[in-house]
């Protein structure tokens, strides 16, 4: 595996190749978070997934950190998972100023059961920062190559797993990232490095990458 952790320039070069190959839409900067191997705080780049009259849906372009879905084994519901608490507390306070937080809309999220495994429907939640659901992925990331995600050197240092991609179309190594959906018998759902959705990783897995999403009020 290339040592992106040793040189942020290598990561950025490979990242540009992925962006060019996938021909993705607009990117904007908003907030700041550690991203290189030394933890240097840098602007967060976001993919603009959707726009309407008053707001835009953003997804972090890169995996920003490596955090388990839950600190309780078998706790796969979004409403009660520790990752949700972290995103809406520690991550919010570290990544955004008060002025930036005022532009992030608190939204009501519907968290249905996973029909593949007959899971129990979760409670609706109200969140500023959240994970995409599989339905969001189908709506906003239809092409498989759009779903590929590189973890930043900082996230790799924190434990994000990286796997080789298709060297001809998308050279480099890609992370798997958590989704907002219960999985197979107490496990969690996630987007694998191939761009496929799976449902069988333990919620306390240390190698999962976090791609935050948010609705930003338009100025």
Tell me the percentage of the chain whose pLDDT exceeds 90. 64
Give residue 58's pLDDT: 96
- Is the pLDDT reported for residue 121 higher than 60? yes
pLDDT digits (tens, 9 = 90+) for 122-142: 999 999 999 999 999 999 998
Here the tokens at position 17 are 């190749």
Please give the pLDDT value at position 12.
Answer: 52
Which residues lie closer than 8 Å to 152 by C-beta, 6 or more apart? 11, 35, 36, 62, 63, 64
pLDDT at 2 over 70: no
**Phi-psi label, residue 94: left if phi above 0, alpha if psi -120 to 50, beta otherwise:** alpha
Instruction: For residue range 97-117, list pLDDT tens digits in order.
Output: 999 999 999 999 999 888 877
The DSSP bridge pattern shows strands 209-210 and 65-66 to be antiparallel
pTM for this predicted structure: 0.87
Structure confidence at residue 25 as a pLDDT band (50, 70, 90):
low
Q: What is the pLDDT of residues 41-92, one digit of tens each?
A: 999 999 999 998 899 999 999 999 999 999 988 888 999 999 999 999 999 9
Residue 8 has pLDDT above 60, yes or no: no
The arithmetic mean of pLDDT across residues 167-190, rounded, is: 86
State the DSSP string of 59-81. EESSB-EE--S-SSTT---GGG-
Asked if residue 1 has pLDDT above 90, the reply is no
């Amino acid at each position: 595996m290339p040592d992106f952790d040793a040189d942020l320039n290598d990561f950025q070069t490979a990242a540009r190749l992925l962006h060019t190959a996938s021909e993705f839409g607009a990117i904007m900067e908003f907030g700041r978070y550690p991203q290189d191997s030394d933890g240097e705080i840098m602007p967060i780049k976001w993919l603009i997934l959707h726009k309407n009259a008053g707001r835009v849906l953003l997804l972090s372009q890169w995996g920003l950190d490596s955090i388990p879905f839950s600190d309780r084994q078998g706790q796969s519901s979004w409403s009660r998972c520790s990752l949700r608490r972290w995103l809406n507390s520690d991550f919010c306070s570290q990544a955004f100023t008060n002025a930036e937080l005022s532009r992030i809309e608190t939204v009501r999220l519907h968290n249905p059961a996973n029909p593949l495994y007959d899971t129990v429907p979760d409670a609706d939640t109200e969140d500023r920062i959240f994970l995409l659901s599989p339905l969001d992925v189908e709506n906003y990331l239809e092409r498989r190559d759009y779903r590929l995600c590189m973890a930043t050197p900082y996230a790799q240092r924190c434990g994000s797993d990286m796997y080789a991609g298709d060297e001809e179309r998308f050279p480099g190594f890609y992370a798997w990232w958590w989704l907002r959906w219960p999985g197979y018998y107490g496990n969690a759902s996630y987007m694998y490095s191939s761009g496929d959705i799976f449902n069988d990783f333990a919620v306390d897995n240390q190698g999962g990458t976090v791609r935050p999403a948010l609705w930003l009020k338009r100025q």
